[in-house]
Structure 1
Amino acid sequence: MIKLEHLTKIFHTQEGEVIAADHIDMEVPQGEICVLLGPSGCGKTTTLKMINRIVPATSGRVFIGGEDTSALDTITLRRNIGYVIQQIGLFPNMTIEENICVVPKLLGWDKARYLARAAELLAMVALEPRTFLKRYPRELSGGQQQRVGVIRALAADPPVMLLDEPFGAIDPINREIIQDEFLKMQQELKKTILFVSHDIDEAVKMADRIAIFDAGKLVQFASPDHVLAHPANKFVEDFVGSDRTLKRLRLVKVKDVMMASGPTVRPEDDLKHALRLMESRDHMAITMVDRNGRPIGSVYRSLALAKQGTCGDHHYGLRAIVNIDDDLRTVAALMFRHDTTWIPCVDDQGVFRGEVSQRGVTHYLGATYRRVEDAPEAHPHPATLESQENRSAHCD
């Protein structure tokens, strides 16, 4: 959807030429978010602004949907690109409804259509249309204004959006909320987005691809996981931080790491049955589920050896449960909080689907760093790793 070809910007100053962007080559597929990342003055914002000609390019070309935009007049180009800035930029003398409808009006939409669009977009970001449509920007909080700034860029349904640090001025709590709302919108709308940030954590959360800039040059362009696992050079390594492996926890879902459909017992099962299951898997504990398959406790091997009776009479409550769509950051937090090395995993209905272990997480992350020539043995399925190398994972 977006292709930059040798895009270059040279500023002429009294001290001489300053190369702000140096032959940037980059392609962003349709429906993806690409975060332009780097320190202040690295060229990321200049590159973004050359796409809609707020900053004219010195050389190079920009293609949108395969069309060379140099053939388009600036007004037509900008009306087909949504643009959001950190300072929000709402018109203070216009109502929220009027702000959202600016571009659709310019494009000649009929009144009923653009008014319906304004109400639809406000509802999408959890702002009640009847409450907010007729308010002015000064009557909204900073976070609410930021939401309006984002949906105003969406009003005319542009295929491409440019975001220049859109959440940078928002407090951390509201920033997380707005980011989450934006990602939910993106799942539905599938816009192609270039997003400037200086925050590696924000980039990891938001991006399908990350473009890292240094001194006007694009030094790495890859998926967030690849950037974190394989920094292109010392600059990228320092920029993403020494805790980059921990940052990868946000990128991996529980379902990618868990040992699926492990053995379970029911409350009415005999302890000896539970013991045989644990001995066959060399596990130190087993999950107990109810008649609907929902985890309700755990039975430990030491208890099954020492006691007689049913699992329902001799079990412990679960310390934590995770959803299969949770990320590994959630898993790590729960493991540390509850001093446990394994957690049962459930689906959206609460039904047991498997278990995730500390060792399984470690092996999954570590597989990325193993030598390529060891493949496929170096990159087995997580469940294989569990069964072969983590038989003692359940030893709380």
Structure 2
Amino acid sequence: MIKLENLTKVFESQGQATTAADNISMEVPEGEICVLLGPSGCGKTTTLKMINRIIPVTSGRVLINGEDTTGLDTITLRRNIGYVIQQIGLFPNMTIEENISIVPKLLGWNKKRYLARAEELLDMVALEPKAYMKRYPKELSGGQQQRVGVIRALAADPPLMLMDEPFGAIDPINREIIQDEFLRMQQTLKKTILFVSHDIDEAVKMADKIAIFNSGKLIQFDTPDNILAHPKNKFVEDFVGTDRTLKRLRLVKVRDVMVKSPPRVRMDDDLKVALKLMVERDHSAITLVNKKNHPIGSVYRSIAQTKQGLCGDHHYGLRTIVNINDDLRTVASKMFSHDTTWMPCVDDQGVFCGEITQRGVTHHLAATYNDNDGALAELYQEGV
């Protein structure tokens, strides 16, 4: 979708030349979010603004869908690129409806079409159209204004979006909510997005790719997981932080780590059945499920070895469960708060799908740092 080829910006001031962006080359595939990350003055915002020519290019090219944008009219170029800034930039003398509809109107959309688009977008960010269309920006909270700023950039359905620290000025609670809403929209819209941030946690959460800048140069361009696991140099290592392994917990879903189709028992199974399964798998406990295959408890090996009867008469309640779509950060939090090293995994219907263990999480994370990561993953899935 977008390709930067040796993009360079040199600022001249009083006879002094300063290179703000130095031969930046990278390619972002269609439908992906790329976060430009780095300290203040590193060149990330300059690079972003050269794409829509807010800052003129000194040398190099920007290609969108294979087309060199150098020869395009600046106004036409910008109308096909959504742009979101930290300061939001809503026009205070215009209603929310009018703010959202600016670019569609310039493109010649009829009133019925651009009003329908404004309503659709407000619905996407949980702002009731009837309640907000006729309001002015000053009548909205900061978080609500930021949502409008984001959807205004989407109004004309641009293939490419540029976002310059769009959530930086919002309080942490609203920032998390808006980030989640934006990611939910992105699953449907599949826009190609370049996103400037200075926050490594935000980048890990939002990005398909991360581009780390320093002193005008692109230092490392890779997936969040690879950057966290394999920082290219000391600068990147220091920038992502000493807790980079913990940051990786956000990137991995339960479904990718859990042991699938683990043994289970039912209420009317004999304890001998439970004991046999636990001995075969070297488990200290086994999950008890009901007729709907929902986990409802666990039977411990120590009980099965010393008691007789049915599993339904000798089980204990579960400390906690986890959804297969949760990330490993949720797993770690639940394990610590409930003092457990394993838990059953369920789907959205509550059906028992697998089990996740502390050892499994550790092996998965450690595998990335080892040459034999495939072997470790295979051993874990076999229960070794």
- TM-score normalized with structure 2 length: 0.99
Establish whether residue 326 from structure 1 lines up as the match of residue 334 from structure 2: no
1:130 partner letter: K
**Deviation per CA, 1:257-284, whole angstroms, max 9, x where unpaired?**
0000100000111111111110111110
| 3-state SS, counterpart of residue 353 of structure 2 | strand
Corresponding residue for residue 152 of structure 1? 152
Partner of residue 268, structure 1: 268
CA distance in structure 2 between the partners assigned to 1:231 and 1:382 by the alignment: 26
For 1:248, the equivalent position in structure 2 comes to 248
Q: What is the aligned residue count? A: 384
Say yes or no: does 1:205 pair with 2:202. no
Q: For residue 394 of structure 1, what is the aligned residue in structure 2?
A: none
Q: Per the alignment, do residues 325 and 382 of structure 1 end up closer, same or farther by CA in structure 2, a change over 3 Å counting?
A: farther
The residue aligned with 1:228 is 228
> For 1:3-55, what per-residue CA distance to the aligned partner results, in whole angstroms no more than 9, with x for missing partners?
00000001112371111000000000000000000000000000000000000
Aligned to 1:180: 180
Q: Report the more deviating stretch, 293-302 or 269-278.
A: 269-278
> How far 1:114 moved relative to its partner?
0.4
1:169 equivalent in alignment to 2:150: no
Letter in 2 for 1:365: L
The one-letter code sitting in structure 1 at the alignment partner of 2:378 is P
- Structure 1 unpaired stretches of 5+: 389-396
Residue 111 of structure 1 corresponds to 111
Tell me how far 1:140 sits from its aligned partner. Answer: 0.1
Name 2:381's counterpart in structure 1. 383
- Structure 2 counterpart of 1:377, which letter? A
Q: Give the CA deviation at 1:229.
A: 0.3
Alpha-carbon distance in 2 for matches of 1:141, 1:308: 63
2:110 counterpart of 1:97: no
Contact 2:363–2:377 (Cα < 8 Å) also in 1 = no
Aligned 8 A contact 1:259 1:356 in 2: yes
Equivalent AA in structure 1 for residue 117 of structure 2:
R
Give the distance between the partners of 1:10 and 1:2, measured in 2 at CA.
Answer: 22
Whole-Å Cα distance in 2 between the matches of residues 382 and 158 of structure 1?
Answer: 45
Residue 219 of structure 1 aligns to a residue in which SS?
Answer: strand
| Aligned twin of 1:6 | 6
1:138 CA displacement:
0.0
> Which residue identity does 2:375 align to in structure 1?
E
Equivalent positions of 1:52-131 (< 5 A) are 52-131=52-131
1:2–1:62 CA contact under 8 A, matched in 2 = yes
Moved over 6 A (4+): none
In 1, the alpha carbon distance for the partners of 2:374 and 2:322 equals 29
- 1:236-315 matches, within 5 Å, as 236-315=236-315
Asked if the contact 2:346–2:354 (Cα under 8 Å) also holds between the matched residues in 1, the reply is yes
Work out whether residues 363 and 376 of structure 2, in 8 Å CA contact, stay in contact via their aligned partners in 1.
Answer: no
Cα distance change, pair 195–382 in 1 and its aligned pair in 2 (3 A): farther
CA distance in 1 between partners of 2:334 and 2:203 (Å) = 24
Match of 2:367 in 1: 367
Letter in 2 for 1:131: A
CA distance in 1, matches of 2:375, 2:284: 27
Task: Write the distance in 1 (CA, Å) between the matches of 2:296 and 2:377.
Answer: 33
Give the match for residue 391 of structure 1. none
Give a deviation string over 1:102-128, Cα, whole Å, max 9, x none. Answer: 000001111110011001100110000
The answer for the alignment partner of 1:35 in structure 2 is 35
* 1:18 paired residue number: 18
In the alignment, is the contact (CA less than 8 A) between 1:2 and 1:65 conserved in 2?
A: yes
Amino acid of the residue matched to residue 153 of structure 2? A
Partner Cα separation in structure 2 for residue 369 and residue 70 of structure 1: 43
User: 1:382: how far off?
Assistant: 4.2
User: Which amino acid in structure 1 is aligned with residue 11 of structure 2?
Assistant: F
Displacement after TM superposition at 1:375 (Å) = 6.2
Q: Distance in 2 between matches of 1:304 and 1:283?
A: 12
Contact map agreement 1:271 1:304 (CA 8 A) in 2? yes
Instruction: Evaluate the alpha carbon distance shift between residue 120 and residue 28 of structure 1 in structure 2; reply closer, same or farther with a 3 A threshold.
Output: same
Aligned to 1:348, the other structure's residue is in SS state coil
**Structure-1 separation of matches of 2:253 and 2:275:** 31
Cα deviations by residue, 1:56-83 (Å, 9 ceiling, x for unpaired):
0110000011110011010000000000
- The separation in 1 between residues aligned to 2:105 and 2:162, in whole angstroms, is 20
CA shift for structure 1 position 314: 1.0
- 2:367–2:374 Cα contact (<8 Å) kept: no
C-alpha distance in 1 between matches for 2:275 and 2:93? 73
Alpha-carbon shift at residue 304 of structure 1 (Å) = 1.0
Residue by residue over 1:134-187, the C-alpha shift from the partner in whole angstroms, topping out at 9 and shown as x without a partner, is 000000000000000000000000000000000000000000000000001000
TM-score (norm 1): 0.96
Inter-CA distance 127–376: structure 2 relative to 1 (3 Å threshold) = closer
In the superposition, relative to structure 1, how do residues 291 and 379 fare at CA in structure 2: closer, same or farther (>3 Å)? Answer: closer
CA distance in 1, matches of 2:120, 2:353: 37
Corresponding residue of 1:45: 45
CA distance in 1, matches of 2:97, 2:249: 40
